[in-house]
């Protein structure tokens, strides 16, 4: 499925694969707890996040950037093999991802329209894995204010932002909370793999 240049692979992970990845995510979160990032303007984001890999994405009053450590000083755990396998399957490049951002969407959480532009080389794709509740994804062009397309992302779906879509504005408008029983307390996990350099 093509979404303004973004490629959506529906049902790429089966239920068993999803459960394995969720268990790996639990291992990561046990080491580097989820936190509510704060934007540069001082607002708390509704999603909670943490990271694994060489670098993790961090936001606070200082701005957006990649860091080698969790805000609590712990270094990020390695990216689990089962997650890196998804990158290998869809990224179409031999480079290993530097970062896996782990976003958790609870009831009512959303993500405003934004570009992923904190990386040093936009020729590498961004690979996104959805787990748990369905989420309404929206993507536009490389400038704000243009036409957008929407699609529901379900558990096990994989989205690839590359080429013209690599710098496209995108976001999550809302969840269908409790639409999936993958996670005990519902909600959505989104994993995004990136080469940061």
Partner DNA sequence: CAGTACCA
Partner DNA sequence: TCTA
- The reply on whether position 118 binds DNA by CB under 7 A is yes
- The reply on whether position 197 binds DNA by CB under 7 A is no
Q: DSSP readout, 113-126? A: EE----SS-TTS-E
CA distance 5 to 133: 24
Report whether 151 contacts 3 (CB < 8 A): yes
Part of the chain binding DNA (CB under 7 A), chosen from 21-29, 71-79, 84-92, 105-113: 105-113
- The reply on whether position 59 binds DNA by CB under 7 A is yes
- The reply on whether position 40 binds DNA by CB under 7 A is yes
- The reply on whether position 57 binds DNA by CB under 7 A is yes
CA distance 127 to 7: 10
Q: How far is the CB of 49 from DNA (least distance, A)?
A: 8
* Residue in 13, 20, 26 with CA at minimum distance from that of residue 185: 26
- The reply on whether position 129 binds DNA by CB under 7 A is no
* Residue in 170, 4, 6, 151 with CA at minimum distance from that of residue 90: 6
Binding mask 150-179 for DNA (x = CB under 7 A): ---------------------x--------
Q: Of residues 115, 141, 151, 178, which one binds DNA by CB under 7 A? A: 115
Query: Count of alpha carbons within 13 Å of 196, Cβ hemisphere only?
Result: 18
Part of the chain binding DNA (CB under 7 A), chosen from 37-45, 81-89, 151-159, 180-188: 37-45
Tokens 């943490």 locate to 50
CA distance 85 to 93: 12
Q: How far is the CB of 167 from DNA (least distance, A)?
A: 11
- The reply on whether position 101 binds DNA by CB under 7 A is yes
Q: Of residues 90, 111, 131, 161, which one binds DNA by CB under 7 A? A: 111
Query: 25 or 55: whose CB is closer to DNA?
Result: 55
* Residue in 124, 101, 123, 103 with CA at minimum distance from that of residue 54: 101
Which parts of this chain interact with DNA (CB under 7 A)?
A: 39-41, 43-47, 57, 59, 64, 101, 110-118, 144-145, 148, 171
């Amino acid at each position: 499925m093509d979404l303004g240049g973004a490629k959506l692979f529906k049902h790429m992970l089966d239920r068993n694969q999803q459960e394995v990845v969720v268990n790996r995510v639990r291992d990561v979160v046990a080491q580097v707890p989820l936190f509510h990032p704060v934007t540069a303007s001082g607002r708390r984001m509704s999603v909670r996040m943490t990271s694994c890999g060489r670098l993790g994405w961090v936001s606070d009053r200082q701005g957006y950037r990649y860091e080698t450590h969790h805000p609590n000083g712990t270094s990020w755990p390695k990216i689990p093999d089962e997650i890196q396998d998804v990158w290998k399957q869809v990224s179409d490049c031999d480079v290993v991802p530097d970062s896996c951002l782990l976003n958790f969407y609870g009831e009512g959480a959303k993500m405003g329209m934004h570009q992923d532009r904190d990386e040093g080389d936009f020729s590498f794709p961004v690979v996104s894995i959805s787990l748990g509740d369905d989420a309404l994804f929206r993507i536009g062009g490389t400038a704000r204010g243009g036409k957008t397309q929407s699609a529901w992302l379900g558990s096990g779906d994989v989205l690839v932002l590359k080429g013209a879509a690599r710098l496209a504005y995108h976001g999550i408008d809302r969840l269908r909370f409790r639409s999936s029983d993958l996670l005990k307390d519902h909600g959505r996990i989104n994993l995004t793999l990136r080469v940061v350099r």
